[in-house]
Structure formats: structure tokens, C-alpha cells
Amino acid sequence: MENIIEINHLSKSFGEVKAVQDLSFRVKEGELFAFLGINGAGKSTTINIMCAQLTKDEGEVVIDGHSLDKDSDFIKNEIGVVFQDSLLDSALSVYDNLQSRASLYGIFGEDFKKRLYELAKILDFEDLLKRTLGKLSGGQRRRIDVARALIHKPKILILDEPTTGLDPRTRKMLWNVIDDLRKSENMTVFLTTHYMEEASEADYIIILDSGKICAEGTPLELKNAHTGDFITLYNVSEEKIKALGFPYEAIRDAYRISVPNTASATELILKHPELFSDYEITKGKMDDVFLSVTGKSLVGGAER
């Protein structure tokens, strides 16, 4: 796969605050790319620069082979963005909101109607077209936000915390639509999220802290590098667990042991087979990776 996004030595400061510091990374065409960090880590600044909404201090941004410095209009047409806060007009109907957006890309008449009804079908808002946006529920509005971002068939979809506050059913529906578009149109998805289960599905992850990359890799690479494995044992006494010499915690009717890696887990099982009649082995989660790398928990975007 070719790189559709190339960021080279990007920097941006606001007075004495260095929001982005010498940032370089690549995003491959068609992949789900996760960009993680607490609020203030530099995620939104980077996105706003990529979308030509904010000027950079230094560095280079190349989108689909075009330099942001020379072809910002081209790049704007390549990207669709679902921002944290909706940009739709609450006083207008769903139809009028999307018609207004489509006109900015030169989509009118029958071409607009065809695209509108395609999106209305896959995002399940056919019965909402005449409704005033301000009267919709949060989940309904989010579907319209996604339609707004997709109206011009962008090659890159930027999702800035797209599912925060949504119910599980709406979250699942939105992700099904996005996954289908990635498969059918080879659309690239650039995601920021505070839901680590969403980040775990990414092809590649970058973790930012104070405007710098502090870790990157596939979910498996990050888990192997920054967390261990966990063995959950059932029907074993705490005395026997303690004698194994590994950190552990009691969880309901079992004990969970922390081991450095899968090889250590295998060695432990082979040494003490009598204890392992009922057990599970799991890898650390992305929450554990984030905490290990940054020393912070990613909960609602705030440091804890």
C-alpha cells in the first residue's frame, strides 16, 4: 500500500506552548489509523493543519501526493471530517444542511439527490430528511455529521472522537458503515478516540504526549512492547498463587497473575501443571499500553 498521508517534521506553537513538536509519520492508503493522546497532546492541532484550517510553523504535509503548501484546495476535496462538535445548522432541516454542504463541492440537482439517498440509506436517516436538526437526538445528529463528511466521497475520512456519548447500537452502526466504505472504496480512516476498544481495531497506532510521538506500531506490537500477559486461574487458593512469585490480584472467584510475556506464561504452566486445570491467558489492553507509555489514563480525554 502507498502512503496517502505523509507528515514530515511538523511543528506548531501558540506563544510559549509547543502544541506539535517535530512530528513525522505516515498513513497508508485504505488503513484505519489511530492517533491517540489526552486533550492537549497535539491531535486536534495536527488535524487542523492537515485540513488547512491552521497554519503550521515548520514542516511538510503531503496528502495523496500533493503538498499542502501548494495544493490546499485539492487536499480539502480529498478529506472529509467529523469533528468533535457538530458544524451543522440546528435551525435547518437535515435535507437543507446536506444540500448546503454538497453545494460547496459543486454537487447539485440529481447528483446531490442520488448521493443524499445513498447516504440516508446506509446511515439510516431516510425518515429524518425533513426534520429540523435541532430536534434530533444526539445519535441521530451524529449520523448526519458523518453524512456531511461523506457527501463528496472523500478518499480520507478524519474522525475526531466520533462516537463519544453515543449509545452502543449507534456506535456499532456507524462503525459498520465506516468498515464497509473502507472495503468497498478503499477509504482511509484517520481516527482519534478515547475508546480503546476502537483503537484496538486500528491497523496502526501513534500515541502522542505533549506534541511528540512517544510510541507507535500495530496494536499487537504495542501490547508486546509495553504490557505483559495475564493468567486468570480458577479454583486455586491464594496461598498457591502467592507462592508462584508473580504480581497478582483477586478478581471475583479467581486470581489474575501478571507475567512479562506469553513465553513466561507457558513456562509457568509447564512448571506447575497441577494449578492450571481451569485458566485463561490474555494480553494487556490498549489502556495498559497508554498508561505504560504516557503515565496517564485516557478517560474522557483528561489526565488521571
Tens of pLDDT along 89-139? 999 999 999 999 999 999 999 999 999 999 999 999 999 999 999 999 999
In a domain, 301, yes or no: no
45, 176: one domain: yes
pLDDT tens, residue by residue, 141-171: 999 999 999 999 999 999 998 888 888 888 9
Domain extent for 271: 228-294
Q: Report the side by side order of strands in the sheet with 58-63.
A: 17-28, 3-14, 58-63, 66-67
| pLDDT, mean of residues 22-36 | 96
- Phi/psi class of residue 211: alpha, beta or left (left: φ > 0; alpha: ψ in -120 to 50)? left
Q: How confident is the model at residue 298 (pLDDT cuts 50, 70, 90)?
A: low
Q: How confident is the model at residue 303 (pLDDT cuts 50, 70, 90)?
A: very low
161, 27: one domain: yes
- Phi/psi class of residue 245: alpha, beta or left (left: φ > 0; alpha: ψ in -120 to 50)? left
Q: Are β-strands 188-192 and 32-36 bridged in parallel, bridged antiparallel, or unpaired?
A: parallel
In a domain, 299, yes or no: no
Cell numbers describing residue 165: 456519548
Cell numbers describing residue 267: 513456562
- How far is it, in rounded angstroms, from Cα 218 to Cα 106? 38
46, 160: one domain: yes
What pLDDT is attached to residue 304? 38
| pLDDT, mean of residues 10-38 | 95
Residue ranges of E strands in 29-162: 32-36, 58-63, 66-67, 79-82, 156-160
How many residues comprise the chain?
Answer: 304
Residue 53 phi, psi dihedral angles, 5° rounding = -95, -10
What pLDDT is attached to residue 279? 95
What pLDDT is attached to residue 299? 55
What CATH number has the domain bearing residue 241? 3.30.70
- How far is it, in rounded angstroms, from Cα 71 to Cα 66? 6
28, 93: one domain: yes
210, 129: one domain: yes
In a domain, 258, yes or no: yes
147, 213: one domain: yes
- How far is it, in rounded angstroms, from Cα 135 to Cα 250? 48
What pLDDT is attached to residue 86? 87
Buried b (16+ CB within 10 A) or exposed e, 263-297: ebbeebeeeeeebbeebeeebbbbbbbbbbbbeee
Average pLDDT score, the chain: 92
What pLDDT is attached to residue 301? 44
What pLDDT is attached to residue 297? 66
65, 113: one domain: yes
What pLDDT is attached to residue 52? 92
196, 121: one domain: yes
Q: How confident is the model at residue 30 (pLDDT cuts 50, 70, 90)?
A: very high
| pLDDT, mean of residues 231-257 | 94
Residue 221: pLDDT over 50: yes
Residue 190 phi, psi dihedral angles, 5° rounding = -110, 110
Q: What is this structure's pTM?
A: 0.88
Question: What's the Cα-to-Cα distance from 2 to each of 6, 7, 81, 220, rounded to whole Å?
Answer: 10, 14, 21, 22
- How far is it, in rounded angstroms, from Cα 4 to Cα 189? 11
pLDDT tens, residue by residue, 51-73: 999 999 999 999 999 999 999 99
Kindly report the number of other CB atoms within 10 A of residue 154's CB atom.
20
Looking at 157, 187, 217, the residue that finishes a domain is 217
> Cβ distance 61 to 68 under 8 Å?
yes
What pLDDT is attached to residue 165? 81
What CATH number has the domain bearing residue 147? 3.40.50.300
Structural domains of the chain, count: 2
